[in-house]
Amino acid sequence: MSLEEAFAEPVLVGFVMAGDPSPGESVEYAEALVDGGADVVELGIPFSDPVADGPTIQRAHERGLEAGVDTDSFFEIASEVRDRTGAPLVTLCYYNLVYRRGLDRFVDECEDAGVEGVVIPDLPVEESGPMIEVTRGSGVDVVFLAAPTTGDERMRRIGDAASGFLYLVARAGVTGARESLDAATAGLVERANRNVPGVPKAVGFGVSRGEHARRIVEAGADGVIAGSVFVDLVEEGDLAGVREKAGELRGGMDSARNES
């Protein structure tokens, strides 16, 4: 299944860090995500200065680096995840890693490993021209982020550049699981659907419960993204918990669809 095909229905995107706590175990956690109900795997590349991430995912970056994962081994892990799960892959990475690798080489390696989308949280749309040019005509989408503070005009500009899907940040700040979903999320989804037609919208940052997932789908989003809640379970060594949490989030999404 491709990323585009996955978004034919509301999609659950589950995040784990490559190499956390070891290369082989991170593949097993990715499999658990898919077994539990995730449609797409978001696989992080460990980085020394993950400015958009909260403490939970920062620790995952540290564990991945301690396990010796670099960009070379990331693509080996990604290829194995794709082979073993069959799920579409996107990667979350920081632009320094892409730039140092070389944009053409990085995109080519994404295609070879089965990575269909790249989320680069520190690449603003205003500076994305070279990345857009390199990915044009490739099988790799550039996924941009929009937050509650993103104005309509800038959101339309982001939408013009975005492909694959638009990553809607449910609240201001860094990543991290939360007990409640920000009240502004429904309004953000509505504005995104109005200003960026034709590009799927997926909501992340703070999603940790089935109820959150249900409300996101009810608000009109095409996908739910969960990261820190899974990384917490990886840190605890709870493989079964990752599978169960993915099932809980999937159940919340399905309940919203059944009620509509």
Kindly list the catalytic residues. 42, 53
The 8-class DSSP code of residue 45 comes to: P
Task: Give the SS3 label for residue 72.
Answer: helix
CB 71, CB 98: distance < 8 Å: no
Cβ neighbours, 10 Å, residue 36: 22
Cβ-Cβ contacts under 8 Å for 140 (sequence gap 6 or more): 107, 110, 111, 115, 116, 117, 118
Tokens read off for 58: 């920062």
Name 193's Cβ contacts closer than 8 Å, sequence gap at least 6.
201, 220
Cβ neighbours of residue 164 under 8 Å, at least 6 residues apart? 3, 4, 90, 116, 117, 141, 142, 143, 200
d(CA 55, CA 73): 24
